[in-house]
Chain A
Amino acid sequence: DGGITQSPKYLFRKEGQNVTLSCEQNLNHDAMYWYRQDPGQGLRLIYYSQIVNDFQKGDIAEGYSVSREKKESFPLTVTSAQKNPTAFYLCASSPGDRTSYEQYFGPGTRLTVT
């Protein structure tokens, strides 16, 4: 069963703690992305990676970090420096071969920081 998995579905943390969100894909896609979605706003790009061991900042990278050590995995760390971390986080992947541009999304992780 191919696809993207994100875990956990719900995550609760205390303010000041770092937290890592998991994203795994078995679609053999080169490109992976992290977005956050807030009520009344569109998806905003946090980080993206076109290839293993390389990643780029998106539009709202401050307070976040990522790694891409394996093609299948693109974990996102929400650090204590992120001022408003409570949000719905979505991971996506795309073939990245410039013949197909659709993004395949995971089910999302809803993070609540109090």
Chain B
Amino acid sequence: SQKIEQNSEALNIQEGKTATLTCNYTNYSPAYLQWYRQDPGRGPVFLLLIRENEKEKRKERLKVTFDTTLKQSLFHITASQPADSATYLCASLYGGYQKVTFGIGTKLQVIP
């Protein structure tokens, strides 16, 4: 079955540095990958979607890449700020794009 894997260990980085989070997928080839941000006790918030034919996508300080050879998506936050501290979820569409499967999420802590 489709599987999305994210490093469940927390990532701690210094303010101003670039944070890079990894999402790997196995047993299938998603046409789309999504990234969400989730704060404690709240629902996830959609950030970016990238299609398999797009190598890279940017939105302000965010950048997502999609490498179909490595079966991997990288999520970058440049010039990170303490307000970026949250859990970031990777997700992919399946079931005729009607359903979404989520990774466990990676908790990012930006240290001032």
Give A residues with C-beta under 8 Å from B: 4, 31, 33, 35, 40-43, 45, 48, 50, 58, 88, 90, 92, 96, 98, 101-108, 110
Contact = CB atoms under 8 A, between A and B. Distances in A.
Contacts of A106: 43
What are the 3 tightest A-B residue pairs by CB atom distance, in nearest-first order? A105-B43, A102-B46, A42-B102
Interface residues of B, number: 23
Interface of B: 4, 8, 32, 34, 36, 41-46, 49, 89, 93, 97-105
A54 B104 CA distance: 29
Contact of A41 (B4, B46, B104): B104
B103 A42 contact: yes
B99 A58 contact: yes
A103 B42 contact: no
Contacts of B103: 42
Contacts of A104: 46
A107 B98 CA distance: 22
